[in-house]
Structure 1
Amino acid sequence: MAFPQTPIELLAEMQIGGVWTDITADLYARAPLTIERGRPDEAARVDPARVSFQLNNRGNAYSPRTPSSPNYGLIGRNTPVRFSLPATEAYMNLPAAAAAASTPDVAALDITGDIDVRADLRPDVWASNVTNSYWEVMAKYATASNQRSWGLLVRDTGVIQFRWSADGTNVLLTESTVAVPFRGRQRGAIRATLDVNNGSGGWTVTFYTAATMAGTWTQLGATVTGVGVTSIFNSTAPLQVGDISSIGFAHVGRRFYAAEVRNGIGGSPVANPTFTALSPGTTAWSDSAGRSWTLTGQAAISQREYRAYAEVSAWPPRWDVSGRDVYVPAEAAGIMRRLGQGAKPLASTLRRRIPRAGAPVAYWPMEEGRLATQAYSPVTGVAPLTTVGFDYAADSSLLGSDPLPRLTAVASMSGVVPTYTSTGSWTVACVFYWPTAPASDTVLIEFRTTGSATRIRLTGQSGGILFEGFTAGGATLFSAGIVTAGTDFYATWNRLEISANTSGGNVDFSVTWDNVSGSGWGDTTTVAATAGNVTSISTVFGALAEGVSIGHLAVFPGSIDGVYDGADDGYLGEGASARITRLCSEEGVSVAAERADTALGPQTSDTLLALLGKAEAADLGVLSEDREGLGLHYRARTSYYNQPVALTLDYATAGHVAPPLEPVDDDQRLRNDRTVVRDGGSSARAVDTTSPLSTQAPPAGVGVYDDSRTLSLGSDSQPADIAGWLLHLGTWDEARYPTVHVDLAAAPSLIPAILALDIGDRIQIINPPAWLPPGPIDLIVEGYTETIGHPNSWDVVLNCSPAGPWTVAVTDDSVNAHADTTGSQLASGVNTSATSLSVATTSGPIWTTAASEMPFDIRVGGEVMTVTAISGASSPQTFTVTRSVNGIVKSHLSSADVRLAHPAFVSY
């Protein structure tokens, strides 16, 4: 796209009656499209996106309450809209659903020897907590009839996997030894080569990455070798790029730009779909290698960059005095607005998981209020559980539940299980806490079935537990005393499962229990019997059961596997992005979450946005709205570390930095005394007492700026590290640049980079004016306001914060591996031409003299110098330097402070 000769090709679409409809012609030029995303100048949270535009309503098309409107009943509150501009090149778009480009098996694809496969793509996430721990890139691989050849995949950790089979059945798996270097939604090319006979009696797989398919290719990690010469099975499977229909791993949103399969390492391509060469809307084509391709599922060739996806929250009709100018100044908002409107707290993790994962025929959570006399069932058609002697809401110690009842000495419960189709197996499950073993036999649960064991009972004993089944006549069908039950059954929260499973003419009657910490025990008794169905709960506990806590009683029409697992302790220790992904999946909200392994505390009963916010706060990442769909995007804290520059602005070039560029040197983000409290646990404090921004009184410091954060954390070991990192962020000594204005009409060369730029990306301003500190100015994009007018105006105002604090230590890195001095200064003054410095160490160890550690940069009085050599085994030492690296050169007095220009900071 070029300015000003070519008008902006803005495309506005509205989902009318469920169909995306072009409404661009109805946009009023007098009111430019305005999009606000992200958060303003270092705000704590991202606000819902705001999109404003005006629509011509002279034909009543946008009057949803007017019956004469052609769109009556087709649009209304929260109608989706989206706005896009042309992308710099075409791509194959795959939503997070089953979709691919496919070509049938032909002789040219039947590679049995060395192979070289490559893909150029931009996924929503490279590393994330995805289903089955993998997502697919491309493969010639079908599990049906054992037609496996090979496959290229990416793991949830971001490493590349190449798999192949020599016989179509058995699979060899290899993975790169390190993860790809790309952040979420960064375009990158990946490659894997297989040498089936490396000349040493084995095979070798090598992985590579590049910026695009054009290269240059850089080896990723170490080569992977195996013993024995191998081969690739000649299968009949089609070659697919995208989701592999027979594998069925995670669906991750992706853009593909190109793919290649080569016969031999570096050999001739036998398939090379180049999606950038296709016209939007193409569904079938042939590549230059002669392969015929078709799109499957929701795959589409597109050439649009979406600037906003939103929902119209208001349709205010407006008109002028004459009534001829009828219009709608529409307001649309991102999905966060709707998610935050009147949202009720989500139920406990057990209450949410059991009905979803187990499909019980009866379920009573028992999370009632203190005045309750019965336990409600959320399962349709199940009557409440009748209870006597239940002290409801008395025990709040189970992390995965709202408060549960404790039993009194006269406690009993009874409930009817509706009739259901017999499967030959069933499970009765609950959670319980029994403080101490009873002095004599005391019933924990008893229920009835239509099987041979019409009455089944579990009894607590002083030395263990007793598991029994009785016939209709009262005879004992089975009896199993389990004397191993001790501290793992008593004095801890357990999930209990009693089950029956038919095997021929026998039934396996089992009792198992697992602590919420994971340990447990069980026993199985096999007898000639029928399982029948569970018909009712009928339990009289006994006086010695007083003090027992119980809840989440459920009956399942078969075996269960892990229904209670994780949910019983509120998913304590779950990673931040895993929780965000799970919660959004449970609530039907689309999300792309970069992998964030910060261990979280238990999930409490709160609103969806509040729970997502707790995960975001603990990880120190950013949760925002996706501009490419109605959903959310999570950017992990770790993706901010040492990220490449996504946009370079040259202050000396017109339009790159439109006025005003106004630095602010204030105390808005200053915090030099930070406390982090683990919610429900311990705390830690980090205080700066030495730097220029320390808690010391001026001029040695700035005085006390303290704060405290309570975070949902998985263990008491976490607050100290987080407090230290927050202190680092809060004492970063640099001016802020709250906004940076880019005029794309004046600088069209920036359009490709601006189209790719998103919240959390790093930008730099080079060649700043002489009255500012020497550049580059290094910033993080926190959000932006984008104004697109007609026919050729396009402004972007970026909300920014300093990027410097996010440069962290990297082992063996030439720049970011040096620890700073704790105290050094010039032993004598120097003039502007001196290239030798005498440096005295005032605190800590002396500077290294190892040539392998050179060169590195130091900062003296604002001047950056490159140290090329250091001599001297004691203080003072002699530094050989190159002066004026940052364009500043001046004389320096004795005792001038000497520091690393780029000190390494250890990340959280």
Structure 2
Amino acid sequence: MTTRLDYLRLEAAWGVDSGHGVAGWTDITEWWCMDAQTSISRGAQGEQQACQPGLLSLQALNDAGEYLPDNAGSPWHPHVRTDVPIRITYRDPALPGTLVSAETASLEGGTTGGWLTSYLGASAPVTLASSTAQAWDGARSLLITWPTSGGSVGAVASAQTVIRRAYRATVRVWIPAGSPAVRFGDAFGQTPIATSTLTGAWETLTVSWTATDGRVYLAVKPSGASSAGQSVYVDGLQVDEAAAVATWSTAAAPVRSRFTGYVQSWPAIWSASSLSGRVLVTAADRLKRLGASAALRSLVEEEILYDSPSAYWPLGEGDGASSAGNISGSATVRRLSQVQYGTGGAVTFGSGTGPGADGLSAPILAPVDASNGKTLRSISSAPLNAIDLGGSILTYSVTVAAFVATTTASRTVLRVSAPLNITLDVTLDGTGKPSVVIASPLEGLTLSAASTVSISDGATHLVAVSWDHATLTVRLIIDGVQKASVSLSGTGLDSPVAPPWDTVEVGRDGALYAGTVAHVAVWPSALTAARLAELYTAGMTGCSGESSDTRIARYARLAGVDPSQVSLDVGASTSIAHIDSTGMAPLALMQRVADTEGGPLLVDRDGMLVLHSRTRRYAAPVDAALPLEYCTPPDAGWSLEHDDSGQVNYASSTASGSPAVRVIDQASIDEHGIYRRDLDLVTTDPDEALAAAQWLVSRHAEPQTRPVGLLIDLLTISDDLIEAALALDVSSRWQVIDLPPQVAADPFDLFVEGYTETISGTGWTLVPATTPADGGTVWTLDDDALSVLDGTTTLAY
């Protein structure tokens, strides 16, 4: 007898990192041991707790050693290793759907959807257009007009598939009389080919196959030679699993992820009485990776490193240092060392400060005069602007930048040099106004452009020169704002390759720099003014004042999470303070921001990093209302508990740079005693800190009643409720209805904080961790029911 357990699937991504959006899943369900318990845990145990990494444990058959890392005979060798992406999905085949977008399937939006033209070896492409002349469903179809060709052109739509799973693709075609028949199938031979036989009528073409790749490219192309102007109308594309019902639908195929993460271990195990082998698979979601990631440097250092500099000297060495280390990772770049010109002068490490938000000291260069003193210089054994283009090493664009502070004019701040004495300087004139100066003695060439604003004011500035060889433009950018530019067109420096810059120097002979310098960096690319403005802000303020979602997205990006794998609510906290990230793991930084936002930070079942804004729960709609009969264990009872779990009647809250504020509920304290919680919020807004404390005490001053021991039976719950039950997740609002007559409040109104999911050969259950949702009804302006204070509504923040 088929049950819902038969619709669960186990998948792994061998040899690819599907956590970065790469499609490469393989169905390994046949090795999943359903007779052993599979356990999934996600979220938190309570509203005032942080979400923990999602965890998965299960057993898989290993009779042939498929999951032994050193077994060269494994079909997955050599990819059986830790950190393999793994997931569990569920698909009810009775629910129709498609693996392409609704617009690609039906074209009703008036576009060509996800259909693309493909040359497929031909000399001319097809033309795609939305058409109302013919339609199989609705009012529109895709009109494909052929060029003159030998049949190699086509229109292609793609869909993500799971390797080793069976699929079916159907398309409807209408061919005008005189136009060639068409073929339908994968452009690269993964599927069979279906060929049309009719003209002047709609015809259905279907192909079925077992996926051997993570994506299928379904092409409609002429079966033979075509002439310009011949055409075909296409409509009703549907791609779905072969086991699913073939009913036409433009709805997304209802594939429900239950867990997505990375294998932590899979030790091989054997029972004492059998030689049949198994592996015990344990996995964790991305949250564990973010918590175990290497500690970060200061925000400005991380932002500079994010753009892959070819050389980077933070210059944060302490007192007594004589040179600065390069942290770019390049083995060809030497330390930034002192060079003496004339006599006297000093470079004193640890005596100054850089941009201020980096927590580092900085050296001060103090020459005797313009000709007597010291510079800091590094010579690389390879060009700093070298890039690899298909195996060819070329010298191209470059950006050099540094944070500086000086009161001395008529000096050179930075010099970058190349062989043949080609130099690129940032100099200060007699009033401290910076200029970019390019000199090529062999060409007899000197180019320059000047800013109109002085920087010899003692303040810290980010000075940068961006040489964009694609546009042959050199830009002087101060504090993230372009101040001047030089064109290289028509000069001897406009050749296909740029000078091979190999030397960086702070100051130069005859114009020795005097002042503080920090974070000298070189990139083999042309950074934009906008990007340099971000670096300036990171150094000067640590990006203080940005919203919670923006800050978490920043930390995620710096931790290597692809932006496509991040989905964040717009944060209600809009004044996040600078946090010194030095020595902290990315997850710890993100959690501090999430705590300030007042919403959970977690990885969802699809592997996406998500943040829920605190406003998500304000007057939230009910996601599922389930009768009690489906929410209690068959062989155990459940209880109503009224205790001090989560009680808070004394809150102390601190904003960044502000004294602590205190909010208490004296009546609750008098009756129950003090239940204290301290909030250390990374906001620059003291009003937000006060509001957070007020919100906490207003909702939790009194003990709350909550059900304990509820369990949702996903195997036996009715068909009309299963989709709602499967959708329950962290922050879902869940109501339990049809309660016993002794219970005064019907329904139980709950928020899901986390859950444990258990799968076995005979059962499938979900045990949610919940908190009461009644405090989520907030005051709303001009709402007849929700704008009444001192009732059932609460002032939110």
TM-score normalised according to structure 1 size: 0.62
CA pair 492-805 structure 1, distance change in 2 beyond 3 A: farther
> Where do 1:230-379 residues align within 5 Å?
291-293=235-237, 302-324=253-275, 326-341=277-292, 343-357=293-307, 360-368=309-317, 372-377=321-326, 378=328
The one-letter code of the counterpart of 2:53 is P
CA pair 316-448 structure 1, distance change in 2 beyond 3 A: closer
Match of 2:355 in 1: 398
* Corresponding residue SS for 2:711: strand
1:601 aligns with 2:599: no
CA pair 90-592 structure 1, distance change in 2 beyond 3 A: farther
Match of 2:690 in 1: 720
The one-letter code of the counterpart of 2:570 is A
Residue by residue over 1:20-63, the C-alpha shift from the partner in whole angstroms, topping out at 9 and shown as x without a partner, is 55444444454222221111234622222222223344444444
Residue by residue over 1:67-90, the C-alpha shift from the partner in whole angstroms, topping out at 9 and shown as x without a partner, is 776766442333443323333624
Structure 1 contact 408–546 (Cα < 8 Å) conserved: yes
Residue by residue over 1:872-892, the C-alpha shift from the partner in whole angstroms, topping out at 9 and shown as x without a partner, is xxxxxxxxxxxxxxxxxxxxx
Q: Which of 465, 475, 478 is the equivalent residue of 1:513?
A: 478
* Corresponding residue SS for 2:623: strand
> Where do 1:69-148 residues align within 5 Å?
73-87=78-92, 89-93=95-99, 102=104, 117=109
In 2, Cα distance between the equivalents of 1:279 and 1:642? 47
CA pair 455-50 structure 1, distance change in 2 beyond 3 A: closer
CA pair 442-672 structure 1, distance change in 2 beyond 3 A: farther
Residue by residue over 1:690-719, the C-alpha shift from the partner in whole angstroms, topping out at 9 and shown as x without a partner, is 5x43x4x23xxx343333222333555543
In 2, Cα distance between the equivalents of 1:526 and 1:86? 60
Match of 1:677 in 2: 654
1:581 aligns with 2:553: yes
Measure how far apart 1:395 and its partner are: 5.4
Structure 1 contact 140–149 (Cα < 8 Å) conserved: no
Q: Which of 734, 755, 758 is the equivalent residue of 1:763?
A: 734
Measure how far apart 1:801 and its partner are: 0.9
Measure how far apart 1:787 and its partner are: 1.6
Uncovered stretches (5+) of structure 1, i.e. residues with no partner: 110-115, 119-135, 152-192, 194-233, 244-271, 273-277, 822-899
The one-letter code of the counterpart of 1:795 is T
In 2, Cα distance between the equivalents of 1:802 and 1:467? 64
* Corresponding residue SS for 2:596: helix
Q: Which of 497, 511, 522 is the equivalent residue of 2:483?
A: 522
Q: Which of 404, 408, 414 is the equivalent residue of 2:377?
A: 414
Uncovered stretches (5+) of structure 2, i.e. residues with no partner: 17-23, 118-123, 132-138, 147-153, 160-201, 203-207, 221-232, 241-249, 340-345, 368-373, 387-393
CA pair 567-558 structure 1, distance change in 2 beyond 3 A: closer
Match of 1:819 in 2: 788
Measure how far apart 1:751 and its partner are: 1.7
* Corresponding residue SS for 1:564: helix
Structure 1 contact 739–799 (Cα < 8 Å) conserved: no
CA pair 374-660 structure 1, distance change in 2 beyond 3 A: farther
CA pair 800-408 structure 1, distance change in 2 beyond 3 A: same
The one-letter code of the counterpart of 2:478 is W
Match of 1:885 in 2: none
CA pair 638-2 structure 1, distance change in 2 beyond 3 A: farther
Structure 1 contact 741–796 (Cα < 8 Å) conserved: yes
In 2, Cα distance between the equivalents of 1:775 and 1:535? 75
The one-letter code of the counterpart of 1:820 is L
Match of 1:48 in 2: 53
Structure 1 contact 137–241 (Cα < 8 Å) conserved: no
Residue by residue over 1:95-152, the C-alpha shift from the partner in whole angstroms, topping out at 9 and shown as x without a partner, is xxxx897479xxxx7xxxxxx849xxxxxxxxxxxxxxxxx9958999x99x99999x
Residue by residue over 1:352-375, the C-alpha shift from the partner in whole angstroms, topping out at 9 and shown as x without a partner, is 333543x65544333445554323
Residue by residue over 1:522-563, the C-alpha shift from the partner in whole angstroms, topping out at 9 and shown as x without a partner, is 345779855563442334489996652422332555463433
Q: Which of 705, 721, 734 is the equivalent residue of 2:704?
A: 734
In 2, Cα distance between the equivalents of 1:636 and 1:452? 57
Q: Which of 466, 469, 492 is the equivalent residue of 2:459?
A: 492
Structure 1 contact 280–303 (Cα < 8 Å) conserved: no
Match of 1:796 in 2: 766
Residue by residue over 1:462-508, the C-alpha shift from the partner in whole angstroms, topping out at 9 and shown as x without a partner, is 6655766667599995677766426xx6343322123567899xx97
> Where do 1:472-483 residues align within 5 Å?
472=441, 477=446
Structure 1 or 2: more helix by fraction: 2
Match of 2:626 in 1: 649
* Corresponding residue SS for 2:698: helix
In 1, Cα distance between the equivalents of 2:443 and 2:396? 22
Structure 1 contact 368–392 (Cα < 8 Å) conserved: yes
Measure how far apart 1:800 and its partner are: 0.4
Structure 2 contact 316–518 (Cα < 8 Å) conserved: no
* Corresponding residue SS for 1:819: coil
1:384 aligns with 2:384: no
In 1, Cα distance between the equivalents of 2:717 and 2:145? 52
Structure 2 contact 60–279 (Cα < 8 Å) conserved: yes
In 2, Cα distance between the equivalents of 1:611 and 1:906? 29
CA pair 706-635 structure 1, distance change in 2 beyond 3 A: same
TM-score normalised according to structure 2 size: 0.69
CA pair 728-240 structure 1, distance change in 2 beyond 3 A: farther
1:780 aligns with 2:751: yes
Structure 1 contact 101–294 (Cα < 8 Å) conserved: no
In 2, Cα distance between the equivalents of 1:78 and 1:393? 42
Structure 1 contact 395–403 (Cα < 8 Å) conserved: no
Structure 1 contact 429–553 (Cα < 8 Å) conserved: yes
Measure how far apart 1:778 and its partner are: 1.1
In 2, Cα distance between the equivalents of 1:558 and 1:325? 59
CA RMSD of aligned residues (A): 5.1
